[in-house]
Amino acid sequence: MSKGEVNGSAPDPVEPIKFLSFVTHIPHREDVDDSIARALEWGVDYIVAQGTGSDWGAHWLGSGTFPATDIAGNCRPYLKAAVEHKIPFVFSVGIAGGSVHLDASLKLLGDLCAREGWNLRVGVLDTEVDREELAGLIEGGVEVVQANRTEDLPEKLSAADARELLRTVALAGPEPIMELLADEELDGVITGRALDIALFMAPAMARGIPRAAAAHLGKALECAGLALSPPDSAEPVWAAVDSEGVTVRSPNPKLAATVRSIASHGFYERSDPTKEDNPGGRLDLSDCVYEPQADGALRITGAQWIDAPYTLLIEGAKLAGYRSLVILGARDPLLLGQWETWVEAMRQSVRDAPRFAHLVEGTDYRIAVRPYGVPDEVDPARPPRMESAFILDVVADDQDLASEIAYFGFIRLFIGPYPGRKSTAGNAAIPLMPVVIPTGAVYVFGAYHLLPTEQPGALFHSRKIDLATAVPA
């Protein structure tokens, strides 16, 4: 409900709409069929699952790849329920959510449908943004500003910044999904990158649920069982939403929707624990009331929606260089007590080496050493029985240079002197061969900005396909 609805007349009552949620890229539990069956007994009007995100950074977006995940196996029990009970579904897929990720996921899901003999007609929403179109909007005067304050990104995206991006997506809001859901001949909708809660908002709003309750539904269900106690995103979660609020319930009797689990998940991934900015407004949970029910469900009311100008979050990846790694393990307490000096001596050796004299650290290459398991204080008089790990991480403009610097740095870490050392070399152990591990291209976000728009679906492309037969090769 909006602020006006809170302070004025109440919204018209709407028949509760029931949802079953899971995550498309997370493998399900072995007993998931039992949980689905239990949810079906309570009633399910929509099966909704998110499967995109930027939690892991820009690599998959920039590279056009995504991890080896059995999306078909993950989705099979839920698609089976959708087919057998004629339940519409809304999924986002491909993690990074670009066109290539969407098409690869459609291929896997299409193969599954072909094997199972499922004839599913789906609407597909492609949310990759053409960089030239984005650059043209900026040149036309649209200001695309930082979503979060960070020195790594420009305050405002320029047309040149946009053209430097290798692949760009925008997080779709509920409106373009609603447009596809309006086609009654479709069995479901599959999107690329989308706002997680928008997947739930779209069917709820299409059925008359106020935006506040629809958004709170999405916030509670977006990560499936992660909002339950104990939290486990491999588990599904069930909810019913009406004009006043949301009722959440666990289909697995070993987990529960508790005041703490649902309220704490409402704080998830936000700077203000009770407010979340979204396309077209802010979800405000500061006045929510949580009421446990006799059947084990949790009823939540009081969510508010404050309208704001409509913006789309733009995620764009660019190439930052090429990475080579060295993994070391060290046990000498004398070394561990001065590891920062040890590392700095290595960095200085690289700077002073004639072969690298023409290079500028921070511009032509970057060196980072990440310690793991180093105690705050090391007492040489009482050597701890422990080992600390160090990862030497070098990023340079090409792979050969990154590997050369990484090996040079490794040698200095391996044999370089430090005060008090009794040996002549062998400062650290090498658990893996080859010593230098080239990992390939490194991608970073070149855009994490907000694009204002009055047409929520204008940058996207939609199509309708028979999933088992009309998938990309």
Residue 400 sits in a domain whose CATH number is 3.30.70
Q: How does DSSP classify residue 28?
A: P
Phi/psi region, residue 297 (left: phi>0; alpha: psi -120 to 50; beta: rest), is beta
Whether residue 133 is contained in a domain is answered as: no
Q: Check: CB of residue 121 under 8 Å from CB of residue 464.
A: yes
Same domain, 209 and 272: yes
Same domain, 306 and 329: no
Whether residue 157 is contained in a domain is answered as: no
Q: Please state, in angstroms and rounded to a whole number, the distance separating the CA atoms of residues 19 and 53.
A: 21
Sheet with 281-284, edge to edge strand ranges: 275-278, 281-284, 304-307
Same domain, 397 and 415: yes
Q: Check: CB of residue 239 under 8 Å from CB of residue 21.
A: yes
Amino acid at 362: G
pLDDT in tens, 396-412: 999 999 999 999 999 99
Q: Does residue 339 sit in helix, strand or coil? A: helix
Same domain, 212 and 114: yes
Same domain, 297 and 337: no
- The tally of domains found in the chain comes to 2
Q: Please state, in angstroms and rounded to a whole number, the distance separating the CA atoms of residues 387 and 336.
A: 9
Q: Please state, in angstroms and rounded to a whole number, the distance separating the CA atoms of residues 69 and 86.
A: 26
Peptide bond into 236 cis (omega under 30): no
Cβ neighbours of 81 (radius 10 Å): 20
Distances (CA, A) of 279 to 104, 195, 452: 28, 9, 9
Q: How does DSSP classify residue 251?
A: S
pTM attached to this predicted model: 0.92
Whether residue 156 is contained in a domain is answered as: no
The reported pLDDT for the residue numbered 379 is 64
Q: Which of 323, 322, 321, 325 is nearest to 389 (CA)?
A: 325
The reported pLDDT for the residue numbered 2 is 43
Q: Which of 245, 213, 249, 323 is nearest to 41 (CA)?
A: 249
Q: How far from the centroid of its chain's Cα atoms is residue 454's Cα? A: 26
Q: How far from the centroid of its chain's Cα atoms is residue 106's Cα? A: 19
Q: How far from the centroid of its chain's Cα atoms is residue 152's Cα? A: 19
φ/ψ (deg, to 5) at 60 = -70, -30
**Strand pairing report for 245-249 and 365-372:** unpaired
Per-residue confidence of the chain (473 residues) as pLDDT tens digits?
A: 344 344 334 566 778 999 999 999 999 999 999 999 999 999 999 999 999 999 989 999 999 998 867 899 999 999 999 999 999 999 999 999 999 999 999 999 999 999 999 999 999 999 999 999 999 999 999 999 999 888 889 999 999 999 999 999 999 999 999 999 999 999 999 999 999 999 999 999 999 999 999 999 999 999 999 999 999 999 999 999 999 999 999 999 999 999 999 999 888 777 788 999 999 999 999 999 999 999 999 999 999 999 999 999 999 999 999 999 999 999 888 899 899 999 999 999 999 999 999 999 999 999 999 999 876 666 666 655 578 999 999 999 999 999 999 999 999 999 999 999 988 889 999 999 999 999 999 999 999 999 999 999 999 999 999 999 865 54
Whether residue 132 is contained in a domain is answered as: no
Q: Which of 20, 16, 54, 38 is nearest to 252 (CA)?
A: 38
Same domain, 442 and 457: no
Same domain, 343 and 407: yes
Whether residue 220 is contained in a domain is answered as: yes
Same domain, 253 and 277: yes
Q: Please state, in angstroms and rounded to a whole number, the distance separating the CA atoms of residues 390 and 410.
A: 11
Q: Please state, in angstroms and rounded to a whole number, the distance separating the CA atoms of residues 82 and 48.
A: 10
Q: Which domain, by its residues, includes 334?
A: 318-446
The reported pLDDT for the residue numbered 386 is 75
Per-residue b or e along 340-361, where b marks 16 or more CB atoms closer than 10 Å to that residue's CB? eebbeebeebbeeeeebeebee
Give the angle 411-412-416 at the CA atoms, nearest 5°.
Answer: 120
Q: Which of 235, 194, 241 is nearest to 217 (CA)?
A: 241
Whether residue 88 is contained in a domain is answered as: yes
Per-residue b or e along 209-248, where b marks 16 or more CB atoms closer than 10 Å to that residue's CB? bbbbbbbbbbbbbbbbbbbbbeebbbbbbbbbbbbbbbbb
Amino acid at 255: L
Whether residue 141 is contained in a domain is answered as: no
pLDDT in tens, 44-63: 999 999 999 999 899 999 99
Same domain, 381 and 403: yes
Whether residue 62 is contained in a domain is answered as: yes
Q: How far from the centroid of its chain's Cα atoms is residue 136's Cα? A: 28
Same domain, 272 and 405: no
Same domain, 279 and 325: no
Q: How does DSSP classify residue 94?
A: S
The reported pLDDT for the residue numbered 151 is 85
Length of the chain, in residues = 473
Q: Which of 304, 164, 292, 186 is nearest to 245 (CA)?
A: 304
Q: Please state, in angstroms and rounded to a whole number, the distance separating the CA atoms of residues 247 and 239.
A: 5
Q: Which of 150, 152, 168 is nearest to 312 (CA)?
A: 168
Q: Which of 122, 50, 31 is nearest to 82 (CA)?
A: 122
Same domain, 117 and 251: yes
Q: Please state, in angstroms and rounded to a whole number, the distance separating the CA atoms of residues 414 and 419.
A: 14
The reported pLDDT for the residue numbered 270 is 75
Phi/psi region, residue 218 (left: phi>0; alpha: psi -120 to 50; beta: rest), is alpha
Q: Please state, in angstroms and rounded to a whole number, the distance separating the CA atoms of residues 430 and 442.
A: 24
